[in-house]
Amino acid sequence: MSTATLAKKNTVSVIKPTAPAFFDPSKLPWTPWVMDGTYFKLLAVDVRSGGFTMLLKVDPDIESPPHYHIGNVEGIVLEGEFGYGDDRGAAGAYICEHGGVVHQPDSPGGTVMFAIGHGPIVGYNPDGSIAVVVDAKYMMNLAR
């Protein structure tokens, strides 16, 4: 059965989007993020999962506090590098930080990356207590 035959048998209504699908992220300002020396441009949110898509900029010599992601975070390093000890990613590298794994990346030279979070981020205080839960709604409030 060809695609043309399927198209004749099915009636599918195309729903016109209520907002543009494309925009220029360079027109968004870099907004201070949840820790000193980090900035973001919020690109999309999923309020059902709490996930969000962003550009993330990290100043040189920044080490993240310990945190974990409730869902995986996927990204592409656009500039600079970052990583965990000997496991480093430079411009062009793909990363998947798996959900539930507590980690503490650093970026001696700074970085810019495109990141898709498939759920909220949970950050810790030095004493091990929860400092913040960053989800889609939290990000929308920061971006305003």
DSSP state of 27: G
Answer yes or no: is pLDDT of 103 > 80.
yes
Query: Counting Cβ atoms within 10 Å, is residue 111 exposed (0-12), middle (13-18) or buried (19+)?
Result: buried
pTM here is 0.86
Across the range 14-30, mean pLDDT stands at 90
CA 131-53-88 angle, to 5 degrees, is 75
Radius of gyration, CA atoms only, the chain: 18
* Residue 46 scores a pLDDT above 90: yes
Domain 28-143 has CATH 2.60.120.10: yes
